[in-house]
A and B are shown apart, each in its own frame.
Chain A
């Protein structure tokens, strides 16, 4: 096994932070160059006018997924070294809805708001302050709803292959097919609304 490198090479936590910082900044630069620091461009996704976000996200998902499956297949990557969030169904759905509403209203998700801030965008700053305020509220509220918060646990480390009882590779193929269908749909709606807006 050669990866995750941080575990195989037994990096110190400080080294880990430095590497994470470099990767994070590089990722931020890529997002900014792709136009993800602009809240208008991001928000247009929800009005089906500009589906760049969806296309980029799905491309990232299938690229990373294919990489993980291939590296694991050839014995390069130890999947146990990769953190997977425990799956709490209903809290996850509610959290996703809150995050989604925040994204539509503010025009940024937490990551892209930091990208926007890098170019000193005021709306990005307001979004970050709003996010921090939301964290404070969540910290106050969660102890009161803790039983629900940890309810409907599907598994501490549940993945689609185990959940559906099919092989990892087949899940990979199905996710890629799903992504291609989403790309086709995105192209279709973009052209549809472009024509509609011009007429």
Chain B
């Protein structure tokens, strides 16, 4: 029993000592402090730039190689976010091109984008990362049946973009969006019904 109490007291003392420590200086992007929120683009804006063949930017996928990489973007360069700490890697980027960072959900991408901005690069990150890429670009939400023509038109365009990005081709296999025709019943009033 005495040993137990002595052990517990020792651990408690260690704990109190630990509590006096100040947190270590940030070592990586996991706790990198941003000065200001960097520029962001949406997943849809990124998809349009890819489809249009925009060559003015470099897309960098900073997810871990072994985590949830079922969805990929062919033109993206995979560089794990911790690698950004190495001076050689950062200095190897071209300053002529915008660097667009994408990750799982936008959190790490935002930090890296801020870090690159601080080092004099033109950078932005994809808001919502691959989560939004999956739900908004690859599987765009279908409009309601009472949506406007323009909403259906936008949806058709997104389906075409999704097919293109998944290598299905734009013209082939594009889902035809059919909307229900509104049925107007003509009311034939009997003669003499009158009305106000």
Which residues of A are at the interface with B, using a C-beta cutoff of 8 A?
A: 62, 66, 69-70, 72-73, 75, 78-80, 86, 146, 150, 153, 155-157, 161-162, 167-170, 172-173, 175-177, 179-180, 183, 187
Contact = CB atoms under 8 A, between A and B. Distances in A.
Contact of A172 (B19, B63, B104): B19
Interface string B95-122: 0000000011101100000000000000
B145 to A, nearest CB: 25
A179 B8 CA distance: 9
Given A62-B11, A183-B8, A167 B27 contact: no
Contact of B11 (A79, A153, A156, A176): A176
Contacts of B82: 80
A69 B21 contact: yes
A120 to B, nearest CB: 34
Interface string B13-56: 01110111111100110110000000000000000000000000
Interface stretch (B64-72, B166-174, B179-187): B64-72
27 contacts: A69-B18, A73-B21, A73-B24, A79-B24, A80-B27, A80-B82, A86-B67, A146-B70, A153-B104, A153-B105, A155-B107, A156-B63, A156-B64, A156-B67, A156-B104, A167-B22, A168-B21, A168-B23, A170-B19, A172-B15, A172-B19, A173-B15, A173-B19, A176-B15, A176-B18, A177-B15, A183-B8
By DSSP majority rule, is chain A's interface helix, strand, loop, or mixed?
Answer: helix
B30 A176 contact: no
Contacts of A66: 11, 14-15, 18
Interface string B129-149: 000000000000000000000
A169 B21 contact: yes
Contacts of A175: 15
A62 B23 CA distance: 18
Given A167-B23, A175-B15, 20 more contacts: A72-B24, A73-B21, A78-B27, A80-B27, A80-B82, A153-B104, A156-B64, A156-B67, A156-B103, A156-B104, A157-B30, A162-B31, A167-B19, A167-B21, A169-B20, A169-B21, A170-B19, A173-B18, A173-B19, A183-B4
Given A176-B12, A179-B11, A183-B4, A80 B28 contact: yes
B12 A180 contact: yes
Contact of B19 (A78, A156, A169): A169
A156 B23 contact: no
Contacts of A177: 12, 15
Contacts of B16: 173
Q: Which 8 pairs from chain A and chain B are nearest by CB? A: A176-B15, A169-B21, A172-B18, A173-B15, A173-B19, A169-B18, A150-B68, A169-B19
